[in-house]
Structure formats: C-alpha cells, structure tokens
C-alpha cells in the first residue's frame, strides 16, 4: 500500500548511505544497540498494525486490496505495481536460487507499473507457501525492507536534523506508505511542503516537535486529499496511521521507551 513507482532511483542513495553516518544521534549510529533495537521494534509493530492489523509481522500476507497497486504482500506491503515486490523476489533468488517464486520474476517485470494481477494470479498461493516453508523468504523480506525503507528513513531523518526516535518512526512508516519518489503524494514532497510552511527544519534550528507536528499535519492533508485519486479511499482509511503517531506524541513518549497503546481501524494494540 504505497506510492513507490520511482523506487529504483533510491537504490543508489541507499548504497551511499554508510557515507552519511557521521554526526548522527548515538542511538541512530548503532552505539546503543538496546535503544536502537527498541526503535526498530516499535517501527515494525507500527507498520504491521497499519498494514495488517497485527503485532506479528505478516510475511505471508498477499492480496489485491483494490488500491490500484496490484498485489500487496508481505511485511512492508510490497506491491506488484511499484517495483519493491520485484526487488524482493530478486533478493530471494539471490539467497535461494530456483526457489518457488523464481518463476514470477519475469512476469513481475511485465506487470510493473500496472494493477494487473490476472497474469500472476498463481503467485498468491506460492507466496503463502514460501512464507510458511522457507525461512530465507523472511530473511529476504527483512533485507529488502531495510534497504528500501529503514535505511532511507534514517538518512532522511539525519538530513533533517532529527534526534527523537518517535520522529524516525514517523518517517519510516510514512515512507513505506507514500514512497520516496518525486510525485506529489510521496514522503519527499510531504516533507518539502511541511518544511516550506515552517521555513526550515530542526537542522536549521527549528523545534523538532514543531516540525514533526507540521509534518504529520501535512501528511494527514495528503491522506485526505491525495493528488492521485486512485489512492483516495485507501488513503482516507489510513488517517489512523497519523492518529497513532499523534497519540504517542501526546503521551510524551518521544524516546519510545514506555509501553505504547494505539487504536487503529477500531482495534487497540499495546506493545
């Protein structure tokens, strides 16, 4: 469930990510593994709740949720339209050559940029079996998720001058839904609009909480009024994602160290 058509242009950025690891918060650089692990745990819980209404990562989920993205599947909502599902299957093939899903790599290339699922309908059952039977499929999902979403979120946060774990969690989950392209509904443009309205970022000396609230407001505005009208029903439903982050902010749980309780799509989760 994401706007990620231009995802491949970010692969180069991700490859250069280690070069940007200077002058970042201690927890973000990995020098405090326990706190870093807590951030990753909260990020994963939030995305799993938002994507699959579960605290357990749903590696085996796959369905056409009728949002124009073809099949949506796995831990990050990888989609057949936007390229990240293809990226995943290529990584899985690297880890486990000639696996159950190898035969879908070429068909996924053909449906890239479309909502077609008819020509890859058998993928649904094979995806479920791969997630059930092969631990390497989960490893591949984790690897691609980190490369396409977690590391870019960390880099964006660093470039903005963010320090608070809650801010990094917000950037991460927004990136998964909206993607890092250049279209109006992308996280890239949401950040640009929020920053323009405030006249800067925390890196420029603005209050991080002020910037984060402006970012969330701009993100909610996009969810309610996306430029791509194909996403309108799904995006409107996803306003609860913003509400969940705002709940954590209201609890002043900025470092995510306290237990978190959020209500999303009518269900309440504590973690």
CATH number at residue 22: 1.20.141.10
- Residue 22: the pLDDT is 31
Assigned domain for 170 exists: yes
Give the model confidence (pLDDT) of 39-75 as tens digits. 999 999 999 999 999 999 999 999 999 989 999 999 9
In a domain, 1, yes or no: no
In a domain, residue 54? The reply is yes
Give the domain range for residue 19.
Answer: 9-270
Q: What is the pLDDT of residue 12?
A: 35
Task: Give a yes or no: residue 2 inside a domain.
Answer: no
Output the pLDDT for position 5: 42
Catalytic-residue membership of 126: no
Can you tell me the distance from the alpha carbon of 46 to that of 173, in angstroms, rounded to the nearest whole number?
7
79 by DSSP, 3-state: which?
strand
pLDDT of residue 35: 52
Total count of domains within the chain: 1
The one catalytic residue among 51, 87, 91, 185:
51
Which of the residues in the chain have pLDDT under 50? 2-34
- pLDDT given for residue 24 in this prediction: 39
Looking at the domain assignment, is residue 245 inside a domain?
A: yes
Q: Is residue 154 part of a domain?
A: yes
Pairwise CA distance, residues 47 & 169, whole Å: 9
Percent of the residues in the chain that have a pLDDT greater than 70, as a whole number: 87
The predicted model scores a pTM of 0.85
Domain assignment of residue 58, yes or no = yes
Q: Output the pLDDT for position 169.
A: 98
Candidate list 44, 64, 67, 87, residue with the active-site label: 67
**What pLDDT was estimated at residue 30?**
42
67 is an active site residue: yes
Domain membership flag for residue 82: yes
């Amino acid at each position: 469930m994401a706007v990620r058509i231009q995802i491949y242009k970010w692969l180069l950025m991700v490859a250069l990510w280690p070069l940007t690891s200077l002058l970042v918060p201690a927890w973000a650089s990995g020098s405090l593994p326990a706190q870093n692990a807590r951030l990753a745990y909260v990020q994963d819980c939030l995305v799993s709740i938002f994507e699959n209404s579960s605290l357990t990562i749903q590696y085996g989920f796959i369905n056409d949720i009728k949002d124009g993205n073809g099949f949506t599947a796995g831990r990050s909502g990888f989609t057949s339209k936007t390229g990240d599902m293809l990226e995943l299957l290529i990584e899985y093939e690297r880890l486990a050559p000639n696996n159950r899903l190898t035969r879908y790599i070429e068909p996924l290339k053909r449906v890239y940029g479309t909502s077609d699922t008819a020509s890859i309908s058998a993928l649904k059952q094979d995806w479920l079996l791969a997630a059930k039977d092969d631990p390497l499929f989960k490893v591949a999902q984790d690897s691609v998720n980190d490369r396409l979403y977690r590391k870019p979120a960390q880099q964006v946060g660093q470039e903005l001058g963010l320090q608070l774990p809650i801010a990094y969690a917000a950037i991460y989950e927004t990136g998964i839904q909206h993607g890092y392209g250049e279209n109006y509904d992308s996280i890239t443009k949401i950040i640009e609009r929020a920053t323009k309205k405030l006249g800067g970022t925390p890196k420029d000396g603005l209050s991080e909480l002020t910037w984060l609230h402006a970012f969330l407001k701009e993100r909610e505005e996009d969810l309610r009024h996306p430029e791509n009208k194909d996403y309108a029903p799904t995006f409107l439903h996803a306003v609860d994602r913003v509400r969940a982050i705002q709940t954590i902010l209201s609890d002043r749980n900025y470092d995510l160290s306290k237990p978190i309780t959020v209500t999303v799509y009518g269900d309440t989760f504590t973690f």
